[in-house]
Amino acid sequence: MDAPLDWDGLRYFLAVARTQRVSAAARLLGVEHTTVARRIRALEASLGTLLFEKSRGAGFVLTGEGQRLFTHAEQIENSVDAAREQLSGTGQALSGHMRIGATEGFGSYVIMPLLAEFQRHYPHITLDVLPVPRFVSLSRREADLAITIERPQRGPYVCTKLCDYALKLYGTHAYLARHKPIRSSRDLAGHSFIGYVDELLFSERLRYLEDVLPGAQVVLRSTSVIAQYHAALQGRSLAILPCFIAAQDPRLAPVLEDEVTITRTFWMYCHEDVRRLKRVTLLWDYLRRSIAHNAALMAGEHGTMRFLPGPPDGRQAHEPARARRASGGPPRPGQAPRPDREAP
């Protein structure tokens, strides 16, 4: 690969490699799909090698040579982003684009409102939120930050514990009024439940209904926790739901809080190549502080979302890097995640 490479051509290459579709890459880049196809053909011609294999089912799949170029192109992309931030100067407004992947319920009911507030203070930073019932791939750059219920076991990632959250058994007030009082788990016999489709769970951490209530009569299942929430609102069955969703809705009431409470953990991580970008560090710190600020909502102790007073960067915008790391910034690669600290 002795031919000169231009950054613009690599942008097209990265977009196709990450989306695996010329049409999707075109939308991402804001150009016609014919432009993307032409630029890819020109890049392959200049390098004298095939970068993609086209598959009807999988789309554009990287060849071995394409995979090697992808690794180098990502390093160039990160260097360009870092240089752009440094050269913009501290007096310039932060700008750029970030994509955040999160579990469906948390992304919709917690992350999205927080990011709307963040974007109000940083209008030049554009954000994509992917609240999906699956894991997103940081290695394929589906997202810059990911929030999931399982800590990644391997990979070039910087990872930290974001928070614990509670799930409780909920029913509508009307449902509970139609039935005898539920004072213990024995009183749940005869009640119907809403739950996940077991064989389609993307994480074993979601398999909690049968653990907490063995033999429960599940009459309605969905892969979507938001769909389960809306089904519970119909007042026909009970459901175990995250408190950050159900506690915000006064139509739902917790059932057997002392007996049926489940705790799970959210982990936040990013690719180590982007961890030093100012906008990534800023968002990372903001999410940690905001979630700590909403610890009571995450535990189901109250049902109101709270926002940080003042701008998202708070005092950390004027603190040295060492102080920012001590207050919850991204740890260095290979460093064990630090326990969460109470937000100031």
Q: 122 vs 79, which has greater pLDDT?
A: 122
CB atoms closer than 10 angstroms to residue 61: 14
CB atoms closer than 10 angstroms to residue 169: 27
Over residues 16-35, the pLDDT tens digits come to 988 889 999 999 889 999 99
Q: What is the pLDDT of residue 93?
A: 66
Q: Which domains does the chain have, with CATH numbers?
A: 7-87 (1.10.10.10), 102-336 (3.40.190.290)
pLDDT class of 182 with cuts at 50, 70, 90: very high
Rounded (10°) angle between helices 64-88 and 7-19: 120
Average pLDDT, the chain: 85
Mean pLDDT within 91-105: 82
Instruction: Give how far the C-alpha of residue 66 lies from the chain's centroid of Cα atoms, to the nearest Å.
Output: 28
Over residues 241-274, the pLDDT tens digits come to 999 999 999 999 999 999 999 999 999 999 887 8
* DSSP-based three-state secondary structure for 150: coil
- Identify which of 107, 110, 115, 116 has the alpha carbon closest to the alpha carbon of residue 247: 110
pLDDT class of 176 with cuts at 50, 70, 90: very high
Q: Would the pLDDT of 328 be above 80?
A: no
Burial class (CB in 10 A: 0-12, 13-18, 19+), 39: buried
Mean pLDDT within 280-286: 94
- In Å, what is the CA distance from 233 to each residue of 125, 173, 206, 238, 304? 36, 10, 21, 9, 19
Q: What is the pLDDT of residue 163?
A: 97
Q: 99 vs 341, which has greater pLDDT?
A: 99
- In Å, what is the CA distance from 316 to each residue of 16, 195, 283? 37, 42, 12
Mean pLDDT within 331-335: 43
pLDDT class of 55 with cuts at 50, 70, 90: confident
C-alpha dihedral over 216, 220, 225, 231, to 10 degrees? -110
Q: What is the pLDDT of residue 212?
A: 84
Q: Would the pLDDT of 343 be above 50?
A: no
Q: Would the pLDDT of 153 be above 90?
A: no
Q: Would the pLDDT of 139 be above 90?
A: no
Q: Would the pLDDT of 186 be above 80?
A: yes
